[in-house]
Structure 1
Amino acid sequence: MSMISRFCAVRRHSALACGLGLSATALAGSVSAAAGVQLASGVQQPAAQARISEEVLLLDTYPFSDPDPIPILASDPRLYPYHAFRGYSPASEPREWRVVRMENDLIEVFVLPEAGGKVWGAVVKETGHEFIYRNEVMKFRDIALRGPWTSGGVEFNFGVIGHTPATATPVDYTVRENADGSVSTFVGAMDLPSRTHWRVEIRLPPDKGYFETHALWYNPTPLEQPYYNWMTAAAFAQDDLELFVPGQSYLEHSGRERPWPLDEQGRFLPLYRNNAFGGNKSYHVVGELNDFFGGYYHDDGYGWGHWARYEDMPGQKMWLWSLARDGGIWEDLLTDTDGQYVEFQAGRLLVQYQPGDHVNPVTQAAFDPISASAWTETWFPLEGTGGLTDASREGAMRVEREDDGTSVAVTVQAFGDVTDTLRVWSGDELVAAEPVDLAALRPQRVSFAIDAERAFRVAVPALDLDYSSDPAVRALDRPFEMDLEAWENTPEADRLVFQARELAKGRRYGQARELFEAAAAVAPWNRGALLGLADLDLRSARYEEGLEHARRALQLDTYDAAANFMAGNLYHALGRDVDAREAFGWAARAVAFRTASYVRLAEIMTGAGKWGEAERYARLALDFDRNSVPAWQLLAALGRLAGDAAAVREAHDALLEIDPLHHFVLAERYLADPTADNAGALTGAMYSEYPDQSLLELAVAYAGWGLGEDAVSVLDVAASAAWEQSWPQLDGEGGG
């Protein structure tokens, strides 16, 4: 058992002096007592080794309470079947929290599985600088979609909008030591309204001054779902803070474009203290092809940053509370002694879209049926760099002109030890090649003479750093304004369909139906209106009506892939599997629906008892999406039914590699050998707020494949399970 210790207040400059060296349960070659994960054995230990441990800490907690008995359908149908919480404590009390500590010789990272799985904070060991702001109290206040939220750390948001529904409650998690010397904490949950699954691996390398987050988010349903993801990190708000977010403009939530870094009044917005006007600030910065952004405290000499490939995370947002009292009150409401914070947020989209009166090309996004997204991000500290001009996964660099532009000063920081040559070009002329021997997180500064009239370039190849002073090489030509004539000249039915699609992507299905029906009244054969109504009918089990709409769309184009996929789902729901197979076959010819169609065909064949054909279709799905969780799940079940141990092992290994948190493998082990121990292993691995829903989802999947007996067996486990949940953040029964 980990020791229980009162966690003292840790500040930017004194983290180590405050007692971060608390003893903890080491996870060295044994089974983790809390997460139940067997560590790798028989693997030669690398020269460097990160460490991971779990401990229980007493943290001052302002709990929440009063689950709302009124269904959330009455206030926000988008969140059903979740409920809201209405009670918040004005006073704190010490509560026990499970904390995962990950560390190497350079940095420490802390994770809270019981608070949405978020990264609680991260600190540089040598300096004590927190490059991820850690709130030392768990002070829940009514901010998130369901109510409770607490500030600080890195929050993982997946779903429809705003803070994820699981942000303040326990999620599933497990920990792992990796063969390369790194350590990982996996956190995740199912978003109940969409039935999508999100997972984040927080990975700390053995010898680097950063940590990574590897995200997986997949939609196993045959329906389009809302697509919203932002990773929200916190940093200290200080007058000496300068934001380094490269771009030419920023977007408001509605998509309206505004100037950046100078606003219309000439204020330099990246300086935190220059934002002492107006209310809270949301800067979604756009306009340059860059993979990084960050911030730096000029007086304190340190900072923080984020790196991800632009195609993965194009969204770069800064959130600032109002610098007036209307923002300052939240410092008191959300913290005790840690002070105000800012948020640097990385997203899969350009903005956190909220519809407005301004007409522009920015919209909401949709999650394709039976598809997945995966990406990697890097979170790093800056130590003595003076700012941030370029960054990569391996290092960061600050570049500044000096002496009236006749010299350039370069400060380079590597995240690991490296030797390289720093090169500088003035125009096309190489003017310097300086060997550099860089130690991790130890900045090195050099200066070079250049031509004041010419653009210059600085490169450190081993760190993948390459900066040009000419902004034109990074500028993007993407329009954020719509010509009003384009909208006015769009047929009325198409405008209505567009608006209805936006509502549907935001899970506002009732309002979407009204507009789809209005479009169909104007143009009865409008393809978008027909498919939109068919989709809503499928969601609401109005299968006959939906099929009529889909068939009308197919009368317009018999090869229409989207119409065939929709028709296949409706035929299958009606038990007309001959027609469903034919429709899915046509849909599979389009890349957009290929994997999804093959998975649906595999499901139909599984239910028909044609296991060989089911396996063929599942493997065809994997040919086009090797990480298709539904396809691997089908192969695992088919292998068990056929008694093929090799196929079962292959599928289980693949699933655990793709998604170590999914309970399907444990369910399969129970179905293959229904013992009390295997039932206990299945239920004992469920840490989330709704373990019963996790089992129900498994049962729904088996029933959908025509494996009714398996579904009943899983439901029997759910009926006999006795979960003992004790949340430190919840007042009343089950709290503390």
Structure 2
Amino acid sequence: VSVPLTLGSQYFKLDAQEPRARISEEIRIIETYPFSDPNPVPILASDDRLYPYHRFEGYAHRSEPVEWKVVHLENEWIELWVLPEVGGKVWGARVKETGHEFIYRNEVIKFRNIALRGPWTSGGIEFNFGVIGHTPSTATPVDYRTREHDDGSVSVVVGAMDLPSRTHWRVEIRLPPDRAYFETNVLWWNPTTLEQPYYNWMTAAAFAQDDLIMSIPGNSYLEHPGAQRDWPFDSEGRELSVYDQNRFGSNKSFHVVGELNDFFGGYYLDDDYGFGHWSRYEEMPGQKLWLWALSRQGGIWEDLLTDTDGQYVEFQAGRLLVQYSPGDDVNPISQVGFDPGATDQWTETWFPVEGLGGLSDASRDGAMFVEREGGRVRVRTHAFVETDDTMRVLVNGVVLFTDEVSLEVLEPIEREFGSVDATGESPLIPQDAEVIVEFPRLRLRYHSKPESRQISRPFSTDAEAIPSIPLSDREVMAARELVQGRHFNEARNLFETVLAKEPWNREVLLGLADLEYRRGRYAEGLNFADQVLRLDAYDSEGNFIAGNLYRALGQTIDAREAFGWSARSVAFRAVSYVQLAELALVGGDYLEAGRYARLAKDYDRNSLSANRLLAVLARLGGDVAEWDRILSSILELDPLHHFAEAELYLADVSTGENVVEGLRSEYPEQELLELAIDYVELGQRDDAIALLELGETGLRHPMLRVWRA
């Protein structure tokens, strides 16, 4: 709808209709180097961390045209593509006007033996969850759903269940209608009562070119085991952030640390464009640059992974500081666990940079490059959204310049200070002066002294620290890290070594109780947990593990008593209330089940486990409005949550075909089986059997028939 102009275009836009992004799904033929069927020998023989997955071990040397599902998202400025059948990865992204790819798109899908299960293909943005490495689902289909939103944005949600840990990950790839960036909104949920490995890195690719300059704030980098090294200049004076100055040594991993900042990226000086990532530091502190060796050692991978698109670099964002693997260096970097019942969420922004000459700062709303030469300061900036702002330049704490500016999307503006301009002579700015350039509305801020944002966190450990710790304590620390990395047998051996010397060591007893619970030896595990509670009746972790073991043994009274004590600790409160709610539901006490579930939500408002239980209670009680409200809240949080579709089917609101069609991942039978197990744990055996019968007819997988029997 057009609006007549009466006061001029500076006041009104030509089109009164609100802008909308667009999304479509198509089948595209892409030249593909496929991989083989899975090896029938279970992966237990090579990497028991990944059971029940299989490996793929055959790779094609010649390409063939293959049909792939491709989801295309676009607005006025940028477009991107998503491959739901290749791990849900972002295939690539580009600026429509210039054609610049700010996320490298590999035009062939060339699978090679790199990932945890084997096949992996380069380019785009890959989503990694679980244990260190390219995630098990990186080359296979995942669940997905496309969405159009009231605000004009569009999105595709991709996700899967990590089978070894039974955690669920979701990534919403969302494109706003009026901004030149896209978001990845992440949900990662641990529905189990066990600590699981915590590893997440979002691996993006960009073209490898000699003119590439990386902008990664920090004053050092960490190796995979945590050893600290100099950044951006190494001991030989090489500027490591400059791609062309890495022509030495082998492949490189730089986990850059030392500065509190929310962005990193890179810029091609000759082509005059770049790319970047933004997320709040507390959500994504990890920033890594991966380079193949700039020799034939790395060059062979250009041939193995691409046909015509050339070499790439990876700029990776992570929830932790490094992609940790143990080593000999003594430092504070370690494995991390994913707490029982926890739900994590975070947001990231991926953006292009156009015509700035470099990248000094970036925010969710814009990017800026600042150059200093002699007594002059040159500022170039552009916004990702149309806006007005006030640029301020401070020199030694004094505001010397202000300028009201109007910014169009991806249209650079340039200002220069300390030289002759249209208003006359402006004073030269001393080279050693402290210069700050700000765009408050864009939340951009350049500071000439990087140390102003440096953090004091230590990344090394005193040499005398570890020898001063008793050997048994060191062995327990190592064993707990092994558990967090899913190396259970090695962890058990260490725990038992300490147990032989210290039979009442609390950490050892807790560790062994946990390991026995994991392998279904509940009575043996309870013996260890019982010893912990003989030391301290109120031990929250001991009570929580004991509660799990009692429940597994069918000792409901003891389980309720133990969870009551563990719920007094904030660390175990929400997950303990969920267990109490489930026990009450199984026992037929619907009022108490609802009360405990609501208590769980008091301390974890996004508890999917509590919401699911409340939905079942509402259905059983015939409260249709409450049931509908809860299912809507679940789907708002997790649009791929299969439990919601199962509830619709069990309530005769939806069909079984809708349940089956929503199971799009590599292992739909595992997803359905997980649902059935969840209903059994809630005491709803008839619902579980109904789902298994549905799977038998819809998926025709013999395992579902065995479980139903």
TM-score by length of 1: 0.91
In the alignment, is the contact (CA less than 8 A) between 1:46 and 1:180 conserved in 2?
A: no
Partners in 2 of 1:46 and 1:327 — Cα distance? 51
For 1:720, the equivalent position in structure 2 comes to 697
Aligned position for 1:504: 483
Give secondary structure in 2 for the equivalent of 1:597. Answer: helix
Equivalent of residue 415 in structure 2, options 422, 446, 454: 446
Q: What SS does the corresponding residue of 1:89 show, helix, strand or coil?
A: coil
Q: For residue 699 of structure 1, what is the aligned residue in structure 2?
A: 676
Is 1:394–2:365 an aligned residue pair? yes
SS in 2 for 1:330: helix
Q: CA deviation at 1:472?
A: 2.3
CA contact (8 A) 2:475 2:498 kept: yes
- Taking the aligned partners of 2:319 and 2:229, their CA distance within structure 1 comes to 21
Q: Which runs of 4+ in 1 moved over 4 A?
A: none
Asked if the contact 2:73/2:154 (under 8 Å) is kept, the reply is yes
Which of 315, 332, 336 is the matching residue for 1:365?
336
1: distance between equivalents of 2:382 and 2:488?
Answer: 50
How far the C-alpha of 1:112 sits from its partner, in A, is 0.5
Number of aligned residue pairs: give it.
676
1:18-37 paired onto structure 2 within 5 Å: none
- In the alignment, structure 1 residue 656 sits paired with structure 2 residue 625: no
Task: Indicate if the aligned counterparts of 2:669 and 2:699 stay in contact, CA closer than 8 A.
Answer: no
Matched position secondary structure for 1:377: strand
Within 5 Å, give how 1:193-272 maps onto structure 2.
Answer: 193-272=164-243
Q: Please give the residue correspondences for 1:307-456 in structure 2 after superposition, counting only pairs within 5 Å.
A: 307-403=278-374, 406-449=375-418, 450-456=429-435
Deviations 1:576-603 (A, max 9, x none): 1111111111111111111100111111
Range that drifts further, 216-225 or 705-714: 705-714
1:636 aligns with 615
Aligned counterpart, 1:679: 656
Distance in 2 (CA, whole Å) between partners of 1:320 and 1:147 is 20
Q: Report the alpha carbon displacement of residue 451 of structure 1 after superposing the two structures with TM.
A: 3.3
Matches of 1:66 and 1:428 in 2, distance apart? 65
Q: 1:616 aligns with which of 588, 595, 600?
A: 595
Greater CA deviation, 214-223 or 637-646?
Answer: 637-646
Alpha-carbon distance in 2 for matches of 1:321, 1:443: 33
Residue 301 (1) aligns with residue 278 (2): no
Which of 454, 457, 465 is residue 486 of structure 1 equivalent to?
465
The structural deviation recorded for 1:147 is 0.4
Output the amino acid matched with 1:356: G
Residues 1:99 and 2:70 are matched in the alignment? yes
Q: Secondary structure at the match of 1:64?
A: coil
Q: Per-residue CA shift, 1:483-533, capped at 9, x if unaligned? A: 132211111211111000111111010000000111111211111111100
Aligned equivalents of 2:491, 2:685: Cα separation in 1:
35
Check the 8 A contact 1:182/1:204 in 2, yes or no: yes
Shift of 1:723: 7.1
Q: Deviations over 1:647-697 (max 9, x none)?
A: 2112101111010001111111121229xx611110011110000000000
Deviation larger for 251-260 or 641-650: 641-650
Question: What residue number does 1:669 align with?
Answer: 648
Corresponding residue for 2:549? 570
Residue of structure 2 in register with 1:32 after alignment: none
Moved more, 375-384 or 489-498: 489-498
Report 1 or 2 for greater relative contact order, CA contacts < 8 Å, sequence distance ≥ 6.
1
* Structure 1 unmatched ranges of 5 or more: 1-44, 725-736
CA contact (8 A) 2:526 2:549 kept: yes
State the one-letter code of the partner of 2:584. Answer: M
Residue 273 of structure 1 is matched in structure 2 by 244
Any conservation in 2 of the 1:241–1:297 contact (CA below 8 Å)? yes
Query: What SS does the aligned partner of 2:183 have?
Result: strand
Give the % identical residues.
62
Give the 3-state SS of the residue equivalent to 1:317 in structure 2.
strand
Counterpart CA distance in 1 for 2:325 and 2:436 is 39
Match of 1:547 among 501, 509, 526: 526
Letter in 1 for 2:687: D
- Shift of residue 424 of structure 1? 0.4
- 2:69 and 2:568 map into 1 onto residues whose CA distance is 49
- 1:626 matched residue in structure 2: 605
Picking from 148, 173, 190, the partner of 2:161 is 190
Out of 676, 687, 700, the residue aligned to residue 710 of structure 1 is 687
Superposed displacement of residue 545, structure 1? 1.3
Q: How does 1:75-154 map to 2 (within 5 A)?
A: 75-154=46-125
Q: Could you tell me which residue of structure 2 aligns to residue 731 of structure 1?
A: none
For 2:379 and 2:563, how far apart are their aligned partners in 1? 58
Partner residue in 1 for 2:256:
285
Asked if the contact 1:407–1:447 (Cα under 8 Å) also holds between the matched residues in 2, the reply is yes
Residue 35 of structure 2 corresponds to 64
The residue identity in structure 2 corresponding to 1:474 is R
Tell me the secondary structure at the aligned position of residue 99 of structure 2.
coil
Deviates more, 1:544-553 or 1:276-285: 544-553
In the aligned structure 2, how far is the partner of 1:61 from the partner of 1:420? Answer: 48
**Amino acid in structure 1 at the alignment position of 2:685:** G
**Aligned counterpart, 2:501:** 522
- CA shift digits 1:283-320 (9 cap, x unpaired): 00000001000000000000000000000000000000
2 CA distance for matches of 1:46 and 1:455? 46
Distance 1:708 1:456 in 2: 68
Q: Is 1:591 aligned to 2:570, yes or no?
A: yes
Alignment check: 8 A CA contact 1:493 1:520 kept: no
Q: Contact between 2:129 and 2:135, CA under 8 Å: does it hold in 1?
A: yes
- How far residue 554 of structure 1 moved from its aligned partner, in angstroms, is 1.6
**1:196 partner letter:** T
Residues 666 and 678 of structure 1 are in contact (CA less than 8 Å); yes or no, is this contact kept in structure 2?
Answer: no
- Is structure 2 residue 667 aligned with structure 1 residue 690? yes
Determine if contact 2:391/2:438 at 8 Å carries over to the other structure: yes
Distance 1:482 1:512 in 2: 24
* Secondary structure of residue in 1 paired with 2:29: strand
Could you tell me which amino acid in structure 2 is paired with residue 445 of structure 1? Answer: E
**Distance in 2 between the 1:593 and 1:568 partners?**
12
The two structures have a TM-score, normalised by structure 2, of 0.94
Cα contact 2:182–2:350 (8 A) shared by 1 = yes
Unaligned runs of 5+ in 2: 1-15, 419-428, 702-709
Three-state SS of the structure 1 residue aligned to 2:199 is: strand
**For 1:216 and 1:255, how far apart are their aligned partners in 2?**
27
Deviations 1:235-283 (A, max 9, x none): 0000000010010100000000000001111110011010010000000
Do 2:214 and 2:243's aligned partners in 1 also have CA atoms closer than 8 Å?
A: yes
SS of aligned partner of 2:531:
helix
CA distance, structure 1, for counterparts of residue 590 and residue 558 of structure 2: 20
8 A Cα contact 1:154 1:233, kept in partner: yes
Match of 1:168 among 139, 143, 154: 139
| Residues 551, 567 of structure 1: 8 Å contact kept | yes
**Conserved 8 A contact 2:262-2:278:** yes
The separation in 2 between residues aligned to 1:662 and 1:47, in whole angstroms, is 31
8 Å CA contact 1:663, 1:685 repeated in 2: yes
Q: Secondary structure at the match of 2:595?
A: helix
Shift of 1:390: 0.9
Give, in whole Å, the separation in 1 of the partners of 2:700 and 2:258.
50
Letter in 2 for 1:705: L
Structure 1 CA distance for aligned equivalents of residues 441 and 253 of structure 2? 35
Which range moves more in the overlay, 305-314 or 638-647? 638-647
The CA deviation at 1:66 is: 3.2
Output the amino acid matched with 2:386: D
Q: Whole-Å Cα distance in 2 between the matches of residues 280 and 324 of structure 1?
A: 9
Measure how far apart 1:626 and its partner are. 1.2
Is the 8 Å Cα contact of residues 158 and 170 (structure 2) preserved in structure 1?
A: yes
